[in-house]
Amino acid sequence: MQSLTVSEGHELDFTQKTQIMGILNVTPDSFSDGGMYDQVESAIEKAKQLVSDGAHLIDVGGESTRPGHEPVSETVEIERVVPVIKAIKSQVNVPISIDTYKSKTAEEAVKAGADMINDVWGAKYDPEITAVASEYNKPIILMHNQLEPNYDDLIEDMKKSLYESVEIAKKHGIKDDQIILDPGVGFGKTHAHNLLVMRRLHELKTLGYPLLLGTSRKSIIGKTLDLPVDERTEGSITTVCYGIAQGVEIVRVHDVKETSRSVRMMDAMIGKGGIVNG
Decide if 232 is catalytic: no
Q: What are phi and psi of 265, to 5 degrees?
A: -65, -45
Catalytically annotated residue among 218, 257, 261, 264 = 218
Residue 39 amino acid letter: Q
Q: What are phi and psi of 124, to 5 degrees?
A: -95, -25
CA distance 86 to 83: 5
Query: Using an 8 Å Cβ cutoff, are 110 and 136 in contact?
Result: yes
Query: Using an 8 Å Cβ cutoff, are 207 and 181 in contact?
Result: yes
Decide if 252 is catalytic: yes
Residue 45 amino acid letter: E
CA distance 213 to 191: 16
Catalytically annotated residue among 80, 159, 252, 272 = 252
Catalytic residues: 218, 252
